[in-house]
């Protein structure tokens, strides 16, 4: 059996990788998995059960119980700040990552729709799908990412202070890049796309040029 194409997209928070992943998936007719939502779902499940996401046993049980059809994976509460914090705690646990590995590899090898898969996260090109046909590492300066997040929050009718969002973003970068297990870094064969000076369409066009060179036109 020949394997289906996989596009791996990694990068820090608010780099624009999610938007790119969705657009590329739609363009190629591939299935898309936002792997951050898995860590968020684990965090949310523990919080909903009244538990402590810093407790490895509780986080591991929640990770082991997660299955592809779970409604928690599409719960709007996944986007909350408390859940983002819980997700960053459980994402630093080796056993939780190991429990979610199979979920992600199954998706990549047998994606819904059967045409191909786009996975976005932090360690897709380096750890989950090291043989992906195309690897993108999407980044932007922390100031630009904080500004984008503030605009998103304001568009959702929420009050946001840029200095606070910036400090929070720096702290998340630090946690994601310095952790011992699966730290955020580009794969050696990834195309690094800095979107600091690009709008969404320009970023998409640059990403598409690279992806076409790897897997052909959509
Ligand atoms: O991208 P996000 O904010 O939804 O990710 C939530 C948390 O999960 C964040 O702390 C990074 C972590 N994460 C990870 O460690 N590995 C991934 N493949 C995806 C997300």
Q: Which domains does the chain possess?
A: 6-213 (3.40.50.300)
Mean pLDDT per 10-residue run, the chain (218 residues)? 89 93 97 97 98 98 96 94 91 96 96 97 96 97 94 87 91 86 92 95 96 95
Task: Name which residue sits closest to atom 10 of ligand 1, judged by CA.
Answer: 88
What pLDDT does residue 126 have?
Answer: 95
In the reported structure, the alpha carbon of residue 24 is separated from the centroid of ligand 1 by a whole-number distance in angstroms of 20
CA distance to 63, 134, 164, 166, 191, per residue, from 145 (Å): 29, 24, 13, 8, 19
**For ligand 1, is residue 45 a contact (CB within 6 Å)?**
no
Answering whether pTM is above 0.85, one says: yes
For the stretch 147-197, pLDDT in tens is 998 998 899 888 888 999 999 889 888 888 888 888 889 999 999 999 999
CB-count burial class (<10 Å; 0-12, 13-18, 19+) for 217:
exposed
**For ligand 1, is residue 18 a contact (CB within 6 Å)?**
no
What pLDDT does residue 156 have?
Answer: 83
**For ligand 1, is residue 40 a contact (CB within 6 Å)?**
yes
Half-sphere exposure of 167 (CA within 13 A, CB side): 4
Contact by Cβ (8 Å): 99, 108: no
What pLDDT does residue 1 have?
Answer: 52
For the stretch 28-38, pLDDT in tens is 999 999 999 99
What pLDDT does residue 176 have?
Answer: 84
**For ligand 1, is residue 122 a contact (CB within 6 Å)?**
yes
């Amino acid at each position: 059996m020949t394997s289906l194409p996989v596009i791996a997209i990694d990068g820090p928070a608010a780099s624009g990788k999610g938007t790119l992943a969705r657009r590329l998936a739609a363009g190629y007719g591939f299935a898309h998995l936002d792997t951050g939502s898995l860590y968020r779902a684990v965090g949310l499940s523990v919080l909903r059960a009244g538990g402590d996401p810093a407790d490895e046993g509780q986080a591991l049980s929640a990770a082991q119980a997660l299955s592809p059809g779970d409604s928690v994976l599409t719960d709007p509460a996944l986007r909350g700040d408390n859940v983002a914090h819980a997700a960053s705690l459980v994402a630093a646990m080796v056993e939780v990552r190991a429990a979610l590995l199979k979920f992600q590899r199954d998706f990549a090898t047998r994606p819904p729709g059967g045409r191909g898969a786009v996975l976005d996260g932090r360690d897709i090109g380096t750890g989950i799908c090291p043989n992906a046909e195309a690897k993108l590492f999407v980044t932007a300066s922390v100031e630009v990412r904080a500004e984008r997040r503030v605009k998103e929050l304001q568009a959702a009718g929420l009050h946001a202070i840029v200095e606070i969002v910036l400090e929070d973003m720096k702290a998340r970068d630090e946690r994601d890049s310095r952790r011992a297990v699966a730290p955020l870094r580009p794969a050696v064969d990834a195309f690094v796309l800095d979107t600091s000076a690009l709008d969404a369409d320009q970023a998409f066009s640059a990403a598409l040029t690279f992806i076409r060179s790897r897997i052909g036109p959509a």
